[in-house]
Chains A and B, each alone.
Chain A
Amino acid sequence: MSSPTATAPNYELIQQDGLETSLLEVSMGPHHPSTHGVFRMDVKLDGETVVDLQPVFGYLHRNHEKLAENMSYLASMPFTDRLDYFNSMTNNWAYALAAEKLVEIEVPERAEYLRVIMAELTRLVNHISLVGFFINDLGALGTPLLYAFREREKIMDLFEQASGARMMCNYFRFGGLRNDVPEGWLDRTREVVDRFPDFLDEYEKLLCENEIILSRTQGVGCLSRDLAISAGITGPMLRASGVNYDIRKVDQYGIYNRFKFRVPYTDDDVGDCYDRFMIRMLEMRESIEILKQALRDIPGGDIIGKAPKIFKPKPAEAYARVEGPKGELGFYLIADGTPKPYRYRVRPPSLINLTVLRDMCLSQKIADAVVILGSIDIVLGEVDR
């Protein structure tokens, strides 16, 4: 193995009389409960302190991009569900946006509102399960996670009613959505959205000032603002490091300019695990605000625009990005005039957020490395593609 990226801090082993010490190499993964999938970290330890760490990827690699280049544009829509299988709706949206840039299709009003509703419900699902898993990583096995999953299941039911699938929704189409939501769906969604803050209050009361959580997360895995920007960190992790950058506000894709919401971010330069945890708790409140406005204003009408029967764009390039729950999810398409994309590329937020894993873990304890990895929020379907 060649030299690591950042140089390890100068390090001397403690030598005691008559006692030989050495570094301990631990291979964490690929099957380890804390890695949330098949991901490996080669860790070098002195006692419990992490001296060096190398992430190892590729266990779930299936060359999604090559697959997509060998099939028609619409045929890879179901495959985008499998990238980040918690957030299939936002994956669909990012891909649809990129394709809509190649062929200009007007999206009907009702579809735009439903897209926002689906994306924000997805954000709730992602953040609530992330927080659950994160507490799980801290050692509170099971109970908080199941509280989170109880709420997640209510939203999953809504997805199932709308698209027919809980997780692999495949609900978006170029120029709109596959089908309209069933009767009464909007009322059921309003009910879920109205009750969600009660759950958040309870959850926050249980967790946010819990002494164990505070001592395990505060000051652990710090990420400075400059490094976060340079390393291309996006999403809640970037905002926890004190950068006010949300693509919903910056690009205002879809109809996000019509909604009033705030972007939570820290104003200091620390960016520790607690910040990343709290930013997600706060973001859920804002998602609920957006959902309430969208559910109030949603009009009737068509749900799919005039998309061509055979999707065959003229030679062009397009890069579209959305604020996924994990960060900036981008799709880069090159069309060459045939029904298949010449180049299809996914910009995976999970992979790029892992760039700084080593920097955050160095000279922390091994148990904290698990917490730091949990706070980044990765899904291996997207890291390895």
Chain B
Amino acid sequence: MSHTVGHEPILGKFPGLEWDEEAGALVVPAAQAAKIATWLRDNDAFLLDYCSNVTGVDYLEREIKEKVTNEAGKTETVIRIEPSRMDIVYHLYSMQKQTGPLVLKQRTNREQPEVESLTPVWRSCELQEREVYDLFGVNFMGHPDQRRILMWDEFEGHPMRKDYTEPFDYEWEPTPHDEVLERHQRGKVIV
């Protein structure tokens, strides 16, 4: 069995690092991601030389109902509002030590999401970060080749976002003609 990587020694090394107990992930402050990633890759205790999976997770603002015991000893339901956010998740393994995974998360806002690219640290992030940019609209600073990968270049919007709705006249052709051209010009669906 591969051994999981202990996170305790990492927490003390960098200020601002947090451990998300529920998700079992290390939450990295956005400005330091590349620095911490390089350290994790090169430090002899970890040698996380292999970044397996990169993906984004879009969280909308949501209400969470919690039961809290108040001062009088009665339980009451409190509504807590969890703000929206965007997570970029990295699953790291070590091929040399055969350990893993360590889950790394970069957390950012979902209006203008911007994080540091880890492609300079692990080449395997290259296509996957492009995919996150394409489907989630996250801007990776320092990515060598950030452009759409699965959707076509003229596509508007980012389909994996939770609030994405497809346009009602959804049909696309590179050279519209006949019915589709008509629809483009009128901008609505012929029923």
Chain A residues with CB under 8 Å of chain B are 1-5, 57-58, 61, 63, 65-66, 227, 229-233, 243, 245, 250-252, 315-317, 319, 321, 328, 330, 332, 334, 342-343, 345, 347, 351-352, 354-356, 384-385
Contacts and interface: CB of A to CB of B under 8 A. Distances in A.
B160 A66 contact: yes
A65 B160 contact: yes
Interface of B: 1-2, 22-25, 49-53, 55, 57, 89, 91, 95, 98, 101, 103, 122-124, 126-128, 135, 144-152, 159-160
Given A66-B159, A232-B51, A319-B53, A57 B150 contact: yes
A2 B147 contact: yes
A321 B145 contact: no
B122 to A, nearest CB: 6
Q: Which of B2, B55, B103, B151 has the most CB of A within 10 A?
A: B55
A352 B22 contact: no
A332 B151 contact: no
Contacts of A321: 52
Contacts of B150: 57-58, 61, 384-385
B151 A355 contact: no
B23 A232 contact: no
Nearest to A345: B55
Given A230-B122, A232-B50, A343-B57, A250 B160 contact: no
A241 to B, nearest CB: 11
Contacts of A63: 135, 159-160
A61 B124 CA distance: 20
Nearest to A230: B123
B127 A351 contact: yes
A328 B160 contact: no
Contacts of A4: 145
B50 A250 contact: no
A58 B149 contact: yes
B136 to A, nearest CB: 11
Nearest to B98: A250
B53 A355 contact: no
B55 A355 contact: no
Contacts of B160: 63, 65-66
A7 to B, nearest CB: 10
Given A3-B144, A5-B145, A231 B53 contact: no
Given A4-B145, A229-B49, 17 more contacts: A57-B149, A227-B123, A231-B126, A232-B124, A245-B95, A251-B2, A252-B1, A316-B22, A317-B23, A317-B24, A319-B91, A319-B101, A319-B103, A332-B91, A351-B128, A354-B127, A355-B123
Nearest to B130: A57
Contacts of A227: 123
B1 A251 contact: yes
A64 B127 CA distance: 17
